[in-house]
């Protein structure tokens, strides 16, 4: 062990660093006064800062800057007696495990008689659906996420153009699961998970700070639910991360809205050339999936109703182009967009520059706003985990959403995929249904006394998870939408288009918003937009 080697080398060598011996001396005091920093962890949280007051009756530590156990005097060097060295070495070994815990603050493992602890990584669709249904009479819960809210992603495109306000699409995690704010042993930590130790049943975390140095801590778990989501796919294309906007967080929508309004205002300044106006007001969307189609439709509606009224001087310059490789599933949706005067370009982006992108055929597409929506893939955190992987690099799970070969670890949502079955699409309805299934499973395990670590091996799990696709919906602007109720891409089903589809789309999403407060916000925003137009003047 590291401290044993330090002490042993100090007893054998004649020199050394003053700071090194000082650290060893302070760690091995016979008596110390430890003051815990204030925290809400009711004694279960190992404090990071330790104030140690040493007693100087350990001869082997009395000489600082000299070999441990040696002092300089007028008549030579006196060494520590052998029995004192054995006592010192034993003190080092006993303190080694304690030293490991002092390196990081640690929310320690639950003790007998305490409720088992479920740790949830993430605050997306899957995580929040799980948190909402968890029985907190059976479990304590800890949620760890770099954001403290859930984003209702299907409505995020509407916030970019003022149809909805940002507060309408975000729900605090502590309101979804009130135990995180009220229960004494349940917490929400604003942090990112950096590692999982399945042998010790603990996760390592790094605080999410804006500037400054983050600090690290550990949290022990009885059951671990990994629902950390995925990251936008860039396919390694140069310049995408530097110059394109993504649309997955509220901050992304705010940045898009700012850029859109900024370009509109800059284009009206005197001296701006015709070519520059066309570039500034050219909005390019890459990706014909649900997000790309809905955002293109919202932009088209914004141009038709608002730009022509509020920015009449440049109304003829603004346009929207959707770039896609033309998947058959979205063919009808892309065709329908033609009626909204959205340009469709079939091609593959090769490279992205600050003011233009280059397609695989060598053609250039100038832009003022570039939104990238080409799907999602596993995050760097998921790739780094020493867990089985499914197709596409997701965390591998079995039919009960358990991670094979490890105990008490589950994964769901965009970060997980079946090992022996086809990987499900990265859709909100998949994540939500997995969260509902898993919370029912863990509640059932908890009622059968299987909530503690490694205690659910003999508990029957019941039926495995089965996913049934309910169809897809997409808004395309102008109070029109597309509703496809097919159960798969190739199956036949009901397909609707127009105002009735738009009404169904809005009504369906309104019922899925988490709280009645946000439902009121959304309904009010929609009604106001119908009567007075969008709220795009607050920035």
Residue 371: name the closest of 161, 132, 109 by CA. Answer: 161
- Mean pLDDT lowest among 59-73, 105-119, 149-163: 59-73
For the cut 50, the answer to whether the pLDDT of residue 317 exceeds it is yes
For 193, how many CA atoms within 13 A lie in the half-sphere containing its CB? 29
- Interval 324-352 mean pLDDT: 70
Which residue in 523, 536, 225, 262 sits closest to 403, CA to CA?
A: 225
Best CA proximity match to 276, nearest among 268, 285, 267: 267
Tell which residue, 295, 306, 296, has the closest CA to residue 535: 306
Backbone torsions φ then ψ of 437, nearest 5 degrees: -65, -45
Q: What is the pLDDT of residue 490?
A: 54
Half-sphere exposure of 140 toward its Cβ, with a 13 Å CA cutoff? 24
User: Shortest CA distance to 164 belongs to which of 302, 311, 289, 334?
Assistant: 302
Q: What is the structure's pLDDT at 343?
A: 85
What's the full length of the chain, in residues? 539
Q: Which long-range contacts (CB under 8 A, 24 or more apart) does 240-246 make?
A: 240/349, 240/352, 240/372, 242/352, 243/352, 243/353, 243/354, 243/370, 244/286, 244/352, 244/370, 244/371, 244/372, 245/369, 245/370, 245/371, 245/372, 246/371, 246/372, 246/373
| DSSP assignment letter at 305 | I
pLDDT digits (tens, 9 = 90+) for 186-201: 999 999 999 999 999 9
More confident residue, 342 or 21: 342
Does residue 386 or residue 511 have the better pLDDT?
A: 386
pLDDT class of 489 with cuts at 50, 70, 90 = low
DSSP state of 425: P
Model confidence at 171: pLDDT above 80: yes
pLDDT on residue 304: 81
How confident is the model over 220-248, as pLDDT tens digits? 999 999 999 999 999 999 999 999 999 99
Tokens (6 digits) for 374:
């080409």
Q: Among 74-83, 209-218, 377-386, 473-482, which is the least confidently predicted range?
A: 74-83
**Rounded Cα–Cα distance for residues 332 and 323 (Å):** 15
Res 291: pLDDT: 85
Residue of 366, 455, 536 lying closest to 109 (CA atoms): 455
pLDDT, tens digit (0-9, with 9 covering 90-100), for 373-417: 998 999 999 999 999 999 889 999 999 999 998 999 999 999 999
pTM of the model: 0.77
């Amino acid at each position: 062990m590291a401290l044993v080697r330090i002490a042993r080398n100090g007893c054998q060598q004649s020199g050394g660093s003053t700071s090194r011996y000082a650290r060893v001396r302070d760690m091995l005091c016979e008596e110390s006064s430890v003051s815990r920093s204030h925290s809400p962890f009711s004694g279960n949280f190992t404090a990071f800062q330790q104030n140690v007051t040493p007693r100087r009756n350990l001869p082997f530590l009395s000489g600082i800057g000299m070999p441990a156990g040696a002092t300089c005097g007028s008549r030579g060097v006196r060494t520590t007696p052998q029995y004192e060295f054995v006592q010192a070495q034993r003190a080092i070994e006993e303190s080694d495990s304690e030293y490991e815990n002092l390196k990081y603050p640690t929310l320690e493992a639950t003790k007998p008689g305490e409720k088992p602890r479920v740790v949830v990584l993430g605050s997306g669709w899957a995580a929040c659906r799980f948190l909402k249904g968890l029985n907190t009479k059976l479990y304590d819960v800890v949620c760890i996420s770099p954001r403290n809210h859930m984003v209702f992603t299907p409505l995020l495109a509407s916030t970019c153009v003022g149809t909805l306000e940002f507060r309408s699409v975000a729900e605090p995690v502590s309101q979804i699961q009130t135990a995180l704010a009220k229960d004494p042993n349940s917490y929400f930590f604003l942090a990112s998970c950096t590692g999982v130790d399945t042998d010790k049943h603990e996760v390592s975390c790094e605080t999410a700070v804006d500037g400054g140095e983050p600090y690290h801590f550990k949290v022990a778990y009885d059951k671990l639910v990994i629902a950390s989501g995925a990251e936008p796919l860039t396919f390694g294309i140069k310049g995408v991360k530097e110059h394109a906007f993504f649309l997955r967080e509220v901050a992304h929508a705010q940045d898009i809205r700012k850029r859109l309004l900024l370009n509109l205002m800059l284009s009206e300044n005197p001296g701006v050339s015709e070519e520059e106006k066309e570039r500034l007001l050219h909005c390019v969307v890459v990706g014909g999936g649900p997000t790309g189609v809905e955002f293109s439709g919202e932009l088209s509606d914004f141009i038709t109703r608002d730009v022509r009224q509020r920015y009449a001087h440049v109304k003829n310059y603004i346009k929207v182009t959707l770039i896609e490789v033309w998947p058959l599933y979205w063919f009808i949706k892309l065709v329908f967009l033609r009626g909204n005067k959205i340009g469709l370009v079939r091609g593959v982006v090769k490279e992205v520059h600050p003011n233009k992108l280059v397609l695989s055929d060598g053609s250039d597409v100038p832009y003022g706003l570039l939104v990238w929506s080409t799907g999602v893939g596993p995050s760097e955190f998921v790739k780094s985990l020493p867990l089985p992987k499914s197709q596409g690099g997701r965390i591998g799970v079995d039919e009960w959403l358990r991670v094979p070969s490890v105990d008490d670890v589950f994964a769901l949502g965009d970060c997980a995929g079946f090992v022996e079955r086809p990987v499900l699409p990265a859709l909100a309805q998949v994540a939500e249904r997995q969260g509902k299934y898993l919370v029912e499973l863990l509640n059932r395990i908890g009622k059968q006394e299987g909530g503690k670590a490694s205690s659910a091996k003999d508990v029957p799990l019941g039926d495995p998870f089965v996913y049934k696709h309910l169809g897809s919906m997409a808004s395309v602007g102008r109070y029109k939408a597309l509703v496809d109720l097919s159960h798969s891409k190739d199956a036949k089903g009901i397909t609707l288009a127009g105002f009735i589809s738009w009404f169904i789309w809005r009504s369906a999403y309104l019922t899925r918003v988490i709280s009645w407060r946000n439902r009121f916000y959304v309904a009010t925003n929609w009604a106001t937009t119908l009567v007075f137009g969008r709220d795009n003047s607050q920035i």
